[in-house]
Chains A and B, each alone.
Chain A
Amino acid sequence: NAGVTQTPKFQVLKTGQSMTLQCAQDMNHNSMYWYRQDPGMGLRLIYYSASEGTTDKGEVPNGYNVSRLNKREFSLRLESAAPSQTSVYFCASSPSSGSSDTQYFGPGTRLTVL
């Protein structure tokens, strides 16, 4: 039982390049989330998917797109990377989108945009 897995672990991009961050969970959870973590700011929600087939914007969605490919997988795409998107990205999942549900986090992807 791997929990939440993310690929890649590290990535360096040049400004304007595109890439997709992959996330998968094997806990049969309905809801999945993408966060970014910046120093001194905690985690901020980019997008979430309450259930398969639905996605919604979070606090900081600009410059990102997401795809809920199936129940297990939730990808985050940067179409044209900018230095402001340098951050650590975390994927999480929870059994449902209930407010009291525990979210389970992946190990993160450290992205640097030059």
Chain B
Amino acid sequence: AQSVTQLGSHVSVSEGALVLLRCNYSSSVPPYLFWYVQYPNQGLQLLLKYTSAATLVKGINGFEAEFKKSETSFHLTKPSAHMSDAAEYFCAVSAAGRRALTFGSGTRLQVQP
């Protein structure tokens, strides 16, 4: 079985501050991990994904995430928040041999001016 927990359904940061969105997963086999972003009234767009090539993964728009097997975590970070980063962010897991993504419940990021 696989599951994803995103801590914090809402996160608010000031423009220019560090963004940290938390994701913990459980999987009985080595996982593939994804971060998707959803802007208002739009579909989901891939930010980055971990496929075991490197533990630090860089994505679009300055975001990155680090896979930590010992902590079963895949937290998303960005050094300096921009107003355009305001959106909902979803972490998802897919295990080898499985065809479906399992999504977390999402974290809504608010960026204050």
The 5 closest A-B pairs by CB, nearest first: A105-B43, A42-B103, A105-B44, A100-B51, A97-B99
Residues in chain A near residue B26, CB distance under 8 A = none
How far apart are B25's CB and chain A's nearest CB, in angstroms? 13
How far apart are A92's CB and chain B's nearest CB, in angstroms? 8
List 18 other contacts, CB 8 Å, given A56-B99, A99-B96, A99-B98. Answer: A31-B99, A40-B9, A40-B106, A41-B105, A42-B103, A42-B105, A48-B100, A50-B99, A58-B100, A90-B44, A92-B44, A99-B32, A99-B94, A99-B95, A100-B94, A105-B45, A107-B43, A108-B43
How far apart are A27's CB and chain B's nearest CB, in angstroms? 13
- Complex CA gap A58/B103 in Å reads 13
* B residues neighboring A (CB under 8 Å): 4, 9, 32, 34, 36, 41-46, 49, 51, 90, 94-101, 103-106
Contact B32 A100 (CB under 8 A): yes
Residues in chain B near residue A99, CB distance under 8 A = 32, 94-99
- Complex CA gap A56/B51 in Å reads 25
Size class of the contact patch on chain A: 20 to 34
Q: Counting CB contacts under 8 A, is A103 at the interface?
A: yes
* A residues neighboring B (CB under 8 Å): 4, 31, 33, 40-45, 48, 50, 56, 58-59, 90, 92, 97, 99-100, 102-108
Assuming A100-B32, A106-B43, is B99 touching A42 (CB within 8 A)?
A: no
